[in-house]
Structure 1
Amino acid sequence: MPPINDSAVVDFNHPFFLHPSDTPGTLLISHQLVGLENYNVWSRSMRIVLLAKNKLGFVDGSFQKDSYGPDLHPQWERCNAILLSWILNAVSKELSASIVFASNAASVWDDLMEHFDKVNGFRIFFLHREIATISQGELSVSTYFTKLKMLWDEYVALVPIASCECVNSQQYSRHVTQQQLFLFLMGLNETYSSIRSQILLMQPLPSVNQAYSMVAQEESQRIQLSVMPSPDSSVFYSKGSGILDRRQFQGICDYCKVKGHERDSCYRLIGFPPDFKFSKRRNAQAAVAVSESAAVPEPVVVLTLLMPLAS
């Protein structure tokens, strides 16, 4: 890159521009680099964020200090220090100890790439096996789809798909898209066999994202149906209207303190129905006492229930 004029204004589009939120303590991504197992995901996540902040050139070598005039060197040093702090915040404590004394963000980036960017057959084999054997199990549809998509995205990053406009490339791209759909449907639980059959009968076949949307809607409907209250199977007797039907009540009666009914349908106030099944003789005698004392004030009825029954 040719030297840039020292009088150039460091505006929003300039690579040396720092937003007030660009502080040393900023966490660019939610996960830290721990080693070989997550370097590819970490590196791609960091590159996306740095590109959005117009700072990717500080780690890939595009923004060399010597490419700028002396008047911009202090600003370059400041940006380089910010980049070093961002990298330190994005790696594990074990790795940060080995790079804390580095003075150049690009050299740190190159060192991490040299140590952990091991694109070998073993990692590709592992991803291929995980994608082929993954299943929903106890996961929700959303969690299962997200996990599968992460594995697939990493696999495509390691084994890129040809993107030219030739016929063979387009055919292969359609084949890959179809494989993604089949893998998603294969891993679903058997409870979704009906919606899976509907998707496979569609012409043309939908994309994996469209299929996920259909299955997610099915899951949402099932959840809504499972939490809807169901009518209570019990029928309650009322002196005024004969029979009182209601939905299941989950609270506690404020009169008898028994769970499962409200005060206006409490047998101890409105009377027990003729066909009520008593489990104990004591309860039967108590029910008769309540039915016969309709004109007795409420406190007397309570005392009658609490009185010991003759053996």
Structure 2
Amino acid sequence: MKIALLAKKKVGLVDGSCKRESVAEGLRSQWDRCNALVLSWILNTVSQDLSAGIVFASNAAMVWADLKERFNKVDGSRIYYLHREIVTHTQNLSSISVYFSRLKLLWDDFDALVPFNSCECEIARENSSILAQQRLFQMLMGLNDSYTMVRSQILLMKPLPTINQAYNMLVQEEGQRQHSVNSVQVQNEPTALYTSSYSQSHNQYKKKFNGICDFCHIKGHKKENCYRLIGYSPDFKFTKKGGINVKQSANSATAENGAEAVMQSEAKQAPTFTAEQYQQILNLLGKDPVVKGAAHMAGSLQWRDEEDW
């Protein structure tokens, strides 16, 4: 409010330096108009609860003095709150600019309540340098852990940079990271588009193919993709089609092929002898030659016209 009054050259109407009695008779009407203008600014600035108490006031200087007496006081609880907000303020999900702007606002509010010594002596300049260094550390402490490398680079600089210089370095680092993320996303987009287009074209090809397999004579696939020829994968899901269980058919075909393979294997492994070799073996064992076509009978034997033993 005070800055706006300074810009309009109306501060004298609120600080008491420009009173109505000190103005010439011919200029008092202009003074009244300027006083009403300042009063309207004050009414539009304060809250509705406060405006109800000053709406009937006629002197801007009196209203200003009343507000200053009620609210322009250094409160210990307010200073404590601001100091706690400054110490605990962190970046979290905010950008560097938003984080620094919020911290700068807290510093300005704290300086308004606890004004720093404005002396131009050497000691005052040293104290001002120490305060700026402490605030630089506060800003670096609130950064996310992803800025640890940049924080270390700033702290290793001699002399230490100012707050604005450190802020500029952090903004540049943030911009480079954002550029890197965007570059990676742009590089990944063609791959994703190619994969999607290939999958769509492959599925479309599978849907459009209506040929008949030359091996199993089943519609819907080619010979080089026939599972009966190349074998079924472990995760293949069998379905029924035309009342025939494909899984059972596949199992039957597998069983038949397996039985044939076993029979062929046994036939290959069975020893073969000539008639002379077989007769020699029987002579060695002391057996009579076996007549071809003899039947092997199982069970108990009974002789005709003989009693049981």
TM-score (norm 1): 0.62
Q: Which residue of 2 aligns with 1:87?
A: 42
Alpha-carbon separation, structure 2, partners of 1:75 and 1:133: 51
Alpha-carbon separation, structure 1, partners of 2:50 and 2:4: 21
Cα 1:232–1:147 shift into 2, 3 Å: closer
For 2:207, which of 277, 280, 286 is the aligned residue?
286
Shift of 1:284: 7.2
**How many residues are matched?**
214
Runs of 4+ displaced beyond 6 Å: none
Alignment RMSD: 2.8
Q: Which moved more, 1:116-125 or 1:188-197?
A: 116-125
CA shift digits 1:71-128 (9 cap, x unpaired): 0011000011110111111111111111111101111111111111121322222222
Q: Does 1:200 align with 2:155?
A: yes
For 1:76, which of 31, 44, 52 is the aligned residue?
31
Cα 1:266–1:137 shift into 2, 3 Å: closer
Alignment of 1:45-84 (within 5 A): 46-84=1-39
Alignment of 1:56-205 (within 5 A): 56-205=11-160
Shift of 1:62: 1.3
Shift of 1:164: 2.6
Bigger RCO (CA 8 Å, 6+ sep): 1
Shift of 1:267: 5.9
Contact 1:230/1:247, CA 8 A, preserved across alignment = no
Q: Which residue of 1 aligns with 2:260?
A: none
Cα 1:285–1:121 shift into 2, 3 Å: closer
Q: Which residue of 2 aligns with 1:231?
A: 187
Shift of 1:249: 3.8
Alpha-carbon separation, structure 2, partners of 1:121 and 1:232: 56
Q: Which has the larger helix fraction?
A: 2
Contact 1:136/1:187, CA 8 A, preserved across alignment = yes
Alpha-carbon separation, structure 2, partners of 1:212 and 1:221: 14
Q: Give 5+ residue unaligned stretches, structure 2.
A: 212-240, 243-309
Alpha-carbon separation, structure 1, partners of 2:37 and 2:196: 64
Cα 1:191–1:102 shift into 2, 3 Å: same
Cα 1:249–1:92 shift into 2, 3 Å: farther
CA shift digits 1:244-281 (9 cap, x unpaired): xx45449xxxxxxxx944xxx7864xxx4xxxxx7xxx
Contact 1:136/1:188, CA 8 A, preserved across alignment = yes
CA shift digits 1:10-38 (9 cap, x unpaired): xxxxxxxxxxxxxxxxxxxxxxxxxxxxx
Contact 1:230/1:248, CA 8 A, preserved across alignment = no
The percentage of counterpart residues that share the same residue type is 50
Cα 1:113–1:196 shift into 2, 3 Å: same
Shift of 1:64: 0.6
Q: Which residue of 1 aligns with 2:176?
A: 221
Cα 1:138–1:285 shift into 2, 3 Å: closer
Q: Which residue of 1 aligns with 2:228?
A: none
